[in-house]
Amino acid sequence: MEQRDRSIKTTEKKISRRTLLGGALATAILPVTSAFAKYVQIGVLTVPDPTKQPGPLPGKVGTRSPFEVPVKKPSDISSRSPLQDLYSTITPSDLHFERHHAGVPAIDPNQYELLIHGMVDRPMKFSLHDLKRFPSVTRTCFIECAGNFRTGKEDMTVQEILGLTSQSEWTGVMLSTLFRELRVDPKATWFLAEGGDAAVLTRSIPMHKAWDDAMIAYAQNGEAIRPEQGYPARLLLPGWEGNTNVKWLRRIEISDAPYFTREETSKYTYPVKDKIRMFSFEMDARSIITYPSFPQKVERGWIEIRGLAWSGRGKVIKVEVSTDAGKNWNEARLQGPVLEKAHTYFRYLWQWNGAETEIMSRVTDETGYTQPTLKQLIDARGKDIGGYHMNPVTAWRVKRDGSVLFKPEKH
């Protein structure tokens, strides 16, 4: 009985403390063990009993739970999507990766104009209002930076290795619709896309992409496109390397030859064995396991291995998972709908027996292309392989204690 009384008094003390918190979120300091120190202190959000008082009233803009803190990792030139923290193939707009050459310009949508000229019968300028008057199209596709590859150490997250890819639902007008309006010369074979940022980024694009699936996008995930993604309008080239999807698009010039601009000659040109590769537009098929991955830990028993796969050449048709360092491969389940030139979620149920091993994935797209190993890439391209269009199979080491580490490979 005495023990029961003490228990009741303890509970009363806890309730009293919650009351003193006044209904607001509070931060408590708790001691936890760490691999890096015997003891560290971390802030932990505590909340009062939500059934005892009304919550906040409806607001103008929604927010994430304070317990969910996915963030991009910015550097001087880019910031990376936290792919390991996402639950589907759509990237929230504020977590879409960024890569730009001279910062984000501030553009008044009421002053915005897109000039299209060159080998056309009717050169024209379009306001944002003009663009929105044309029939619109919505499609889901990924964008990936051509230099989306990092390696070198074991304690790397998915975000750090390949966080320069994201996926959104884009809305805009097909470029072919505008080109028909202007009556493009049938002899035209290229067009120049120019951005309105301080770098005035320019890229030469083959005309067949314009007639195929190129868009002028002005909306992203149901809202106006974000400034970091090209507000008020950007070029969208599904499946092609990110820099060709020119943001803050202000001019298109149509020609019968490529322009060999500053970016495509100084940055996006690289050796492949004894040749020089310049116009390498399509992103190669790639996949990665996002769970389990560093710094997550697993327990012995059933584990659902999850990840992302995609191809710039079309649909993903197969993802295979190996749980024994590549000795055997098993087909994973693809989560539908499987869209063309889009991130595809895959899942594979695995029973881990507690032994140390390596897990990895590889994708095959509808052209028959299968994601290579790093050795296969070097054999095909040479040792001076650079950092563009790197899409090797990525392995995670699962240790006996359940920790998961990236397996870096030298190249």
Give residue-wise pLDDT tens across range 36-89.
344 444 455 667 888 999 988 999 999 999 899 999 988 888 999 999 999 999
Give 170: exposed, middle or buried? Use CB within 10 Å, 0-12, 13-18, 19+. buried
Side-chain-side CA neighbours of residue 52 (13 Å): 11
How many C-beta atoms surround the C-beta of residue 303 within 10 A?
19
How many angstroms separate the first and last alpha carbons of the chain? 70
Residue ranges matching CATH 2.60.40.650 in the chain = 286-407
Tokens describing residue 390: 């790197």
Give CATH 3.90.420.10 domain extents, the chain. Answer: 77-268
Confidence of residue 386 (pLDDT cuts 50, 70, 90): confident
Q: What is the pLDDT of residue 25?
A: 44
- Residues 305 and 1: their CA atoms lie apart, in Å, by 50
For 21-54, b where at least 16 C-beta lie within 10 A, e where not — what string? eeeeebeeeeeeeeeeeeeeeeeeeeebeeeeee
Mean pLDDT lowest for which of 17-21, 275-279, 383-387? 17-21
Classify domain 286-407 by CATH architecture.
Sandwich (2.60)
With beta carbons less than 8 A apart as the criterion, state whether 103 and 198 touch: yes
**Averaged pLDDT, 271-277:** 82
- pLDDT tens, position by position, 130-168: 999 999 999 999 999 999 999 999 999 999 999 999 999
Query: What average pLDDT does range 384-395 have in this prediction?
Result: 91
Q: pLDDT of 115-133, one tens digit each? A: 999 999 999 999 999 999 9
What's residue 21's pLDDT?
38
Average pLDDT, the chain: 89
pLDDT given for residue 27 in this prediction: 44
Integer Cα distance of 147 and 163 in angstroms:
11
- Write the pLDDT tens digit of every residue in 192-202: 999 999 999 99
Give the pLDDT of residue 46: 67
Residues 119, 182: Cα–Cα separation, whole Å: 9
| Per-residue model confidence (pLDDT) at position 35 | 41
Looking at domain 77-268, its CATH architecture is: Alpha-Beta Complex (3.90)
b/e 79-102 (16+ beta carbons within 10 angstroms → b): bbbbbbbbeebbbebebbbbbbbe
